[in-house]
Amino acid sequence: MGTISPLDDGLKSFGFEVFARIGGGWNVRIRADLNAVVLVGAGRDHERGEFLLLQGLRERQRVILARALAQQPEVLLLDEPAAFLDIRHAVEIYDLLRDLQSEGMTLATVLHDLNLAALYCDRVALLKAGRLVRLGPPSEVITYATVRDVYETEVYVDTNDITGAVNVLPLSRVYRERLRR
């Protein structure tokens, strides 16, 4: 873990430049808005003017998101924004994105996790071989028949009692064989 301090005038203008080692030793130069960095949790101890960037993919994802948010976009296009993150940190990212959406930002994201898509998305588009199969609310798109046909495997689809969102559980070979009997 390393400490990174913003430029002296950075705190006054809520902007700073960072030179950091992120994952595999890559040197990355990032210009971001202080509020965006703090919002996504990439910075720590911001009251002292210091930013701690942990090495690894989790912090890299947050810094990339902070960089995008610093531009104050009206529309944000994302490709697997929580890729390589553990469950806790993925949920933090998607909670943040949901908050941004509720504040008026338009979001479009590519997700391969159907459970996260069902939980966080208002509308989903299910594609197969680059072609649109279904588009609509998750409960209408993420169905047993559609998921089975698109992914060509057996799944169990049900509604989560706590969230009300659709849940998809892929079935292992043992259970797929039981279904064929």
Does residue 54 register a pLDDT over 50?
Answer: no
Q: What is the pLDDT of residue 13?
A: 34
The overall average pLDDT reported for the chain is: 76
Tokens 């391969």 belong to: 112
Q: Percent of the chain at pLDDT above 90?
A: 50
User: Radius of gyration over alpha carbons of the chain, in Å?
Assistant: 20
pLDDT bracket for residue 40 (50, 70, 90): low
Higher pLDDT, 32 or 164: 164
CA distances from 72 to 3, 9, 103 (A): 26, 21, 12
pLDDT tens sequence across 83-131: 888 888 889 899 999 999 999 999 999 999 999 999 999 999 999 999 9
SS (H, E, C) the chain: CEEECCCCCHHHHCEEEEEEEECCCEEEEEEEEHHHHHHHCCCCCHHHCCEEECCCHHHHHHHHHHHHHCCCCCEEEEECCCCCCCHHHHHHHHHHHHHHHHCCCEEEEECCCHHHHHHHCCCEEEEECCEEEEEECHHHHCCHHHHHHHHCCCEEEEECCCCCCEEEEECCHHHHHHHHC
Does residue 5 register a pLDDT over 50?
Answer: no
Those residues whose C-beta lies under 8 Å from the C-beta of residue 78, and which sit 6 or more positions away, are 97, 107, 108, 109, 110
Dist. CA 155–CA 20, nearest whole Å: 43
pLDDT bracket for residue 137 (50, 70, 90): very high
Does residue 133 register a pLDDT over 90?
Answer: yes
User: Which residue type occupies 44?
Assistant: R
Higher pLDDT, 23 or 180: 180
Q: Answer for the pair 155, 144: CB distance below 8 angstroms, yes or no.
A: yes
Higher pLDDT, 21 or 78: 78
